[in-house]
Amino acid sequence: MDLINFLRVLSRRKWLILAITSIALITTYLIAMQAPAVYKVSAQLSTGLSDFNNPFILNQRNRPLQKFELETKLKTLVETIKNPVVLSQVSYQLYFHDLKKSSQFRSWEKINSNYSAAELENAKRNFQERSDSLLALRSSDEIDAKHLGILKELKYDAKSLASTLKVARIPGTDLIQIIYASENPHLSQFVANTLCQEFIRYNFSNRALQSRQSTEFFARQVDIRKAELTQRIREWENYRRQNGLSEVENPMGEMFQVIERFELERDEMSRAKSESEEKLENLRNRANLTIPYSIQAYMNLDDRGGEKNPVVLNEKMARLSYNYVHSYFQNDKYKDSLMTVSQDLEEALFPLAQKMNPQSSDDGAIQEAVEEQVKVELYRDRIKAINIELRQMSREPSSFASLQSEPSVYAQEVERARDVYLLALTKLNEAELASQGFDTGSISQVAFVQPPQKPEPSNILLLTILSGLVALSLGIVVTFVLEYLDTSVKFPSQFGPLTGLPLLGSLNQLNTNNLDLVSLFSETHKNKSLETYKQLLRKIRFEVTENNIKSLLITSTKDGVGKTSFMVSLAYSLSLNGKKVILIDTNFKDKSLTEIIGADPSLEKYLNGEISRRKLITPSLFDGVDVIGCEGGNLSPSEIFPEDRFQDLMEDLSNNYDLILMEGSPLNSYADSRELAKYVGKVIPVFSAAQGINQRDKASINYLRDLDEQVMGAILNKVELRNLNL
């Protein structure tokens, strides 16, 4: 769209743009004036998805996460944090907090007047049950709906929390930022920190459930496939002994032994990990300790760099665990280093755990909790490394003896059973790896929130000006985008460059449903649209008569362009010049011409010899214009009538009429017009200025261009009157 046309569009819509801008200015000012003080806080979650220094991640995928994979996973986590189920867990904790009368975030005056102490206690029990089971309240349940009303009254429900909550990925990182704003600085702090912890709990619970189900299923499959493989190997070995064949290498070699050893070690580590987690949880509860579930959470409490940083030590421990497992537990150097690093990690975590528990004087309990936490990390690393090795092992064809040289059916059965077993083993280890967090990373809160000291600045004037500028810019941009995306050919001057087809003529937008052609051509009209339509039609008539063509095919790329009304109007206009015209309805998919004229559906019957020539043609209401109607259907012209018979009909009609006008089906959807083109002298495609040109239209336009000189020119129909003079 050129500058002149764009300015014309802006001028046409200027009042709308000004109205939008004015409303935005007034609304923003009034809202900003009445807005209460807002305290905003920001927390951060680390997902661990881009931890490329972690050998487990690199070996599990054999590559770091691709950009689109990382973005997809982070987007999933962001949406999960905003999930009503997660937000409901925060709602319950807010309710529990406010039950302590001395530290309520919001007024309970209305709640206490509407609900009895027993009802509030029942709500507490219900919320506790929902919190323990990680479920949201159901509005369809009568009791839940009543308790949900309490949360809504306090604006602690999930919807109210979400209204001032923003969750997004920090660009260029794998961190997720959680921003929450409220009228109370301590409320903002509580919601942000609680949401982080509740999401970690929810995510861990869901992942554990899914992984447990997957692991149990594939574990059963591995046992079944292993038994089948063992049976096939026995049958194969018996076959070779019975036939006196030489012994060959077992197709699994020592792999069974290695796999069993890894699985035993993994089971032992899983048992030990569960015991340490139970001890750690007991210590948290017994000594009322704040011990985070991830070592990443200590990051913001320790400003030490280098190898003494707990996060660095934890990563080093992970790498050593992988290397030790990768050596098949044979390299004692890695084993000794693991013990040293784990001790260093305990020493680094102990003072940080003391900082987290200033109220506790039981250093022994803190030390024991730290030791168990390091053990949990060590066991978790070992399990991950074992799962990676098992998966790598089951995916390496070179690890197993080949049976391709053995032609017996027994050998083929062994190889098939082996492949099935290895596939099940791979799936099992992938499920195990997923249970350790490779699907979502190791999530932890790395930025804990403190109550903000000052509210957010209101900036009333700045917000008002910005809102006005944004509304103005948005109005202009939307106007520009709508015009730019509009692929319709609004101006005749655009048609040639866009389509590459010659333009025979244009017709303005006009309601032709009840158009009186006799009245249109018999008098001069004050209605500019009618008069313009008549004059433009006369120009097209002149071009048609000057070409001295005996037959024309009127077609289009799509429906709804007005080719039927154009054909009837052109036929009547030609009849006024003394031309004898016959219209043939060959649009078998939409026989609108037959229905509009009220013609007999005779074409197919005549071509099939069912009726005589006398019954073929129906006279129209206009002198000099006759019509041949059709029955219509899903068949194409070549399937409906014999080619020679239709050709003879066309030659016969050309001797009796000055011009034959045929209507064809849309090129985009049907082949009819392509099959009919060979029977006519020229083709005239009709386009609508009210419709855009899409990809399917372009393919049909290419076909029309290939017809070259057979295309007399195109008709641009339904052009707005004001666009005809541009």
Cβ-count burial 547-573 (b if 16+ within 10 Å, e if not):
eebbbbbbbbbbbebbbbbbbbbbbbb
CA-nearest of 553, 516, 551, 554 to 533 is 516
Contact 573, 566 (CB under 8 A): no
Coil vs helix vs strand at 43: strand
Q: What span, in angstroms and rounded, lies between the C-alpha atoms of 287 and 283?
A: 6
Whether 706 has a pLDDT exceeding 90, the answer reads yes
Q: How far apart are CA 48 and CA 203, in angstroms?
A: 14
Pick the CATH number of 490-723 from 3.30.70.1060, 3.40.50.300, 1.20.1640.10, 1.10.3720.10: 3.40.50.300
What confidence tens digit (pLDDT) does each residue in 241-279 have?
776 665 555 555 556 677 778 878 888 888 888 888 888
Three-class DSSP category at 357: coil
Q: Which residues pair with 505 in a beta bridge?
A: 715
Which H, E and C letters describe 223-287, residue by residue? HHHHHHHHHHHHHHHHHHHHCCCCCCCCCCCCHHHHHHHHHHHHHHHHHHHHHHHHHHHHHHHHC
DSSP 479-548: HHHHHHH--B--SHHHHHHHH---EEEEEE----TT--HHHHHHS--S-HHHHHHHHHHHHHHHHHHHHT
Q: What is the predicted pLDDT for the residue at 410?
A: 67
Residue-wise pLDDT tens digits, 422-467 = 777 777 776 766 665 544 446 777 767 888 888 777 767 777 888 8
Which residues, 6 or more positions from 263, have their beta carbon under 8 angstroms from its beta carbon?
390
pLDDT recorded at residue 65: 60
| Structural tokens at position 125 | 């029990």
CB-side neighbour CA atoms (13 Å) of 177: 11
What is the percentage of the chain residues whose pLDDT exceeds 70?
Answer: 84
For the chain, the farthest-separated pair of C-alpha atoms sits apart, in whole angstroms, at 115
C-alpha 350/C-alpha 370 separation (Å) is 6
Domain range list for the chain: 36-253+400-457, 260-290+303-388, 490-723
Which of 23-27, 175-179, 528-532, 683-687 is predicted most confidently?
Answer: 683-687
What is the pLDDT confidence band of residue 704, given thresholds at 50, 70 and 90? very high
644, with CB counted inside 10 A (0-12, 13-18, 19+), is: exposed
Per DSSP, what are the bridge partners of residue 166?
A: 179
> Which residue's entry shows tokens 């189920």?
85
pTM over 0.75: no
Residue 417: per-residue pLDDT: 78
Q: What is the structure's pLDDT at 572? A: 94
Encoding tokens for residue 196? 């982080």
581 pLDDT band (50/70/90 cuts)?
very high
CA 238 to chain centre: 56
Expressed in angstroms, the distance from the first to the final Cα of the chain is: 13
Residue 5 contacts by C-beta under 8 Å, 6 or more apart in sequence? 483, 491, 726
Task: pLDDT band for 577, please (50, 70, 90 cuts).
Answer: very high
| pLDDT, tens digit, 9 for 90 and up, residues 103-146 | 789 989 888 889 998 998 899 899 988 888 888 998 888 899 99
With pLDDT > 90 as the criterion, what percentage of the chain qualifies?
29
- Cα dihedral 518, 522, 525, 529 in deg (nearest 10): 50
Instruction: Output DSSP code: residue 174.
Output: S
CA nearest 144: which of 161, 157, 160? 157
pLDDT category, 506, cuts 50, 70, 90?
very high
Of 270-284, 472-486, 501-515, which range is least confident? 472-486
Amino acid at 397: P
